[in-house]
Copies of this chain bind each other. A is one copy, B any other.
């Protein structure tokens, strides 16, 4: 059995997230259907993360074991011809038997994209958050720095994170970097870390927006770390602006 490592990109607009669900259109569902037609096997796909409905990915990794001897290059071509045009297989290579797209991941990079212009962007519908209000970049940059390092992010995730799903680190996570960049009327929040809780990036981004609006202070963030109080953080921004950019192994 070969263990194949794939990198894909997808526009999540029309999907209920990555993970297979019985009655919903999901990325995993599309991939498994395409695989079945090509390799005539029920392959089991392991994705690097779930991703919510409407969230996008520029480089999402998954792995799967297969008996198929189809060369990797041909598999990429065949999958691309089977998959809908909002999913693209970028690469495929053989990995070690021990490689697991989820558990081998050392870190991930997410981007939250905000259109800060007065007008909506007709070419980025469902692909960014339109926020046509003044943004205080300096305040956001300063607040973003507070997230860097190892912290308990209990206040920055959806309370539905079930304890048994959290793993050995509970709600502790390490953020490696958190940048706030402005270019041509767009603001990008770029965050790298060793892992992210349910809704965490969207809540971190929403907290920075609240800081920009003066609804939260730097103290609220440090208090949120201490108390785990979700109300000290900001709102959860919509999924349309969120991109899984890279996975690090």
Residues of A within 8 A of B (CB): 9-11, 56, 80, 85-90, 119-123, 125, 127
Contact = CB atoms under 8 A, between A and B. Distances in A.
A123 B90 contact: no
B11 A86 contact: no
The A interface is mostly helix, strand or loop, or mixed, namely: loop
**In the assembly, how many copies of this chain are there?**
2
Contact of A122 (B85, B121, B123): B85
A9 B124 CA distance: 12
A11 B123 contact: yes
A78 to B, nearest CB: 14
Contacts of A87: 122
B11 A125 contact: yes
A56 B123 CA distance: 9
7 A-B pairs with the lowest CB-CB distances in the bound complex, closest first: A11-B122, A9-B122, A88-B119, A86-B122, A85-B125, A88-B122, A88-B120
18 contacts: A9-B121, A11-B122, A11-B123, A11-B125, A56-B122, A56-B123, A80-B119, A80-B120, A85-B120, A86-B122, A86-B125, A87-B122, A88-B119, A88-B120, A88-B121, A89-B119, A90-B119, A123-B127
A10 B119 CA distance: 12
